[in-house]
Structure 1
């Protein structure tokens, strides 16, 4: 029954939950855009100061850093404020309602997440167009690199979706995940290459990033875009991305199932 509900257009109204919440508070969206603009500007001035001679290396690094900031902030939305998030529902003791609806909890979370990514992706796309217009971001080296990087970016958002889901599901055992959110945010920014391009990392830290999913989510598609990785290597990069999607999807499925057995509905 739940699979049929997932296919009904009415069920996808849930995807508008987070966009409607955010658009109700335009100050939050404006503040987020200002923060992203400041971050990109700081990276631009930093790399321009370090690469005084300019050249392709400077343009490559500036482009990468700007795009990395935009991608890493796609899922900066109202989850921390909304009462309809897993942490908030568990704190209030109302998470049981997610498991008695006709639409399964995991499907409800998925549809809501689609709306979240759509909103964040729209802001990132607007930021990309502005950066492209003012010359901070350069176009991809080739049409093939642009198309392949776009596919990689989409798959990377699936990886980040599953990582965020696993972080939320931890609340079923820990009640709150506030401390873990801070650790996760730092780990994601560092090991995905959002703080610094991974080609600037020491070999041991780059090796650590290679065995974790963060690199596949952001660095891999952007390295194709800026030409750091050749188009010929895209097959391997996509294989790594799909591997992590499969692993994280299985883990999420198992945790959803185990979480459902920890819910007590009316004392049952």
Structure 2
């Protein structure tokens, strides 16, 4: 009985050790090429400058500089994009590309022989990669947006914001990993991958706030998991949530976000079960 009580603890400890070792190795590996990450420091601010020009023109054309557009003032619109941009540095993921490359080259066969699932290994890699991005990308851009662009980057509730961003982090990984699993069926997946990523970003509110869509599209987006990747963390950061005419409290929408993570995990398990049967190791 004593041995059985300690067994769950030893399993958890083993998984934590794998996470620590993999994340640290990934951190050190990418740290040698941190200039590759540093380039993205310019991408976010330049993209945001474009947003400033676009939305200033839109509000000026509509004579709305002192009023609202879809319930958002010009300052609120720019704050939305500033917050969404900085959050993206924390939740960015490339699991789809990594998995599809392994499948296409046949190198995935090595992971079938390892005592740890590739999904968990890839998730640990993402943690290490984003830990490096925290000080190489996120902090410099955060300070730039805060002091140069004067964007309010102080969350309405720090605890709920951290929880929501963490759930968005996991959900982004699971969605991208499911895209990567399509590599078990398709020989060339780059076209599908690019199309799906554009659709994901559009439906997640990364390109435009979801409240700008027509009401019937908002109702569809409300039931899709994509909003929980970027739109929900951004709205939780701001301190309020509204979509398709539905206003929810922050704890309620974060709870829905947690449910979306569980559902997406089940989708991943199903796709993995079906896809792994298709792997033949071609190219290995």
* TM superposition shift of 1:73: 4.8
Alignment pair present for 1:32 and 2:46: no
* TM superposition shift of 1:158: 1.2
Alignment pair present for 1:195 and 2:218: no
**How far apart are the structure 1 equivalents of 2:272 and 2:32?**
31
Partner of 2:3: none
Alignment pair present for 1:256 and 2:264: no
**How far apart are the structure 2 equivalents of 1:186 and 1:165?**
16
Alignment pair present for 1:110 and 2:132: no
What is the 5 A alignment of 1:83-94? 85-94=98-107
TM-score normalised by the chain length of structure 2: 0.78
**How far apart are the structure 2 equivalents of 1:80 and 1:254?**
17
Matched position secondary structure for 1:131: helix
Q: Unaligned stretches of 5+ in structure 2?
A: 1-6
Matched position secondary structure for 2:208: coil
Check whether the contact 2:108–2:281 (CA below 8 A) recurs between aligned residues: no
* TM superposition shift of 1:168: 1.0
Check whether the contact 1:193–1:215 (CA below 8 A) recurs between aligned residues: yes
What is the 5 A alignment of 1:84-163? 85-122=98-135, 123-140=137-154, 142=156, 144=157, 146-163=158-175
Q: 1:207 aligns with which of 213, 219, 227?
A: 219
Q: Unaligned stretches of 5+ in structure 1?
A: none
- Per-residue CA distance 1:19-45 (angstroms, 9 max, x = gap): 445433344223222111210111123
Partner of 1:234: 250
Number of residue-to-residue matches in the alignment: 261
* TM superposition shift of 1:66: 1.5
Partner of 1:65: 81
TM-score normalised by the chain length of structure 1: 0.82
Alignment pair present for 1:45 and 2:61: no
- Per-residue CA distance 1:85-113 (angstroms, 9 max, x = gap): 22222222121100101223232122112
